[in-house]
Amino acid sequence: MSASIADENENTERLDDASKNEKMFTLKKWNAVAMWSWDVECDTCAICRVQVMDACLRCQAESKKDSYGKQDCVVVWGECNHSFHYCCMSLWVKQNNRCPLCQQEWSIQRMGK
């Protein structure tokens, strides 16, 4: 079979093949790998300038001794969709209840989990 015969419906064909039971190869087990990260527009927290995937600077400084890295330093999204470390933002709003990036009034849309 030459390359030219391959058509756009290849995927459906393969699915159809799978339904017949004469295949030479059958997928039995699949170990997939995926990387998770916070679903944010900007990788860096504008307040502490550390990547949001890392703990904020204060948490890093504090928890050098305990083992697992994240230390519940989660991300928080505002209604404006901007995101920061929750730690950083909760200190920030004590002084100024506006988003540091767009100056809209800050209200939490969701928390990372």
Partner 1 sequence: MSRHVSKIGDPSPLKRLDEPQISKKIRLEIEVDENMSDNSPDRNRRANFSNVNGVNRNLNIHSVKPTTKKLIIKNFKSEPKLPDDYNETTWKKLSSAVIAIQQSKPNEYLLEELYQAVGNMCSHKMASELYKNLFELIDAHVRSNIEKFKTETMDRLLFLKKMNDTWQSHCNQMIMIRGIFLCLDRTYVLQNPNISSIWDMGLDLFRKYFMLHTLVQTRVVEGLLMLIEQERQGDKVDRILLKSLLRMLTDLQIYNKAFEQKFLQSTERLYAAEGQRLMQELEVPEFLAHVDKRIHEENERVLHYLDSSTKYQLIHTVEKQLLSEHINNILQKGLDNLLEENRLHDLSLLYQLFSRVKNGLQELCHAFNAFIKKQGRTIVIDPEKDKTMVQELLDFKDAMDNIVASCFKKNEMFSNSLKEAFEHFINQRTNKPAELIAKFVDSKLRAGNKEATEEELERLLDKIMVLFRFIHGKDVFEAFYKKDLAKRLLVGKSASVDAEKSMLSKLKQECGGGFTSKLEGMFKDMELSKDINVAFKQHLNINTPELMPLDMTVNILTMGYWPTYLPMDVTLPAQMVKFQDIFKEFYLSKHNGRKLQWQPTLGHCVLKARFKAGQKELVVSLFQTLVILLFNESDEHGFEYIKAATNIEDGELRRTLQSLACGKARVLNKIPKGREIEDNDKFKFNNDFVNKLFRIKINQIQMKETTEEQKATEERVFQDRQYQIDAAIVRIMKMRKTLSHNLLISELLGQLKFPVKPSDLKKRIESLIDRDYMERDKDNSNQYNYVA
Binding residues for partner 1, rule: CB under 8 A, are 1-3, 6, 10-15, 17-18, 23-39, 47-51, 53-54, 57-58, 60-70, 74-75, 77, 110-113
Handedness of CA 12, 16, 22, 25 (dihedral sign): positive
**Closest to 27 measured CA to CA, from 41, 9, 15, 13:** 15
Strand order in the sheet with 83-85: 83-85, 75-78, 108-111
Q: Is 93 in the site for Zn ion (CB under 5 A)?
A: no
Query: Which of 7-15, 16-24, 34-42, 83-91 is the region at the interface with Zn ion (rule: CB under 5 A)?
Result: 83-91
Window of 1-9, 17-25, 35-43, 81-89 that interacts with Zn ion by CB under 5 A: 81-89
Strands 108-111 and 75-78, how do they pair?
antiparallel
Q: Judged by CB under 5 A, does residue 88 bind Zn ion?
A: yes
Choose among 87, 77, 81, 78: nearest CA to 55: 87
Of 69 and 72, CB closest to partner 1: 69
Computed on alpha carbons and rounded to an integer, the radius of gyration of the chain in Å comes to 24
Which residues in the 36-75 window bind Zn ion by CB under 5 A? Answer: 45, 47-48, 56, 59, 73
We find the least distance from the C-beta atom of residue 61 to Zn ion, in angstroms, to be 10
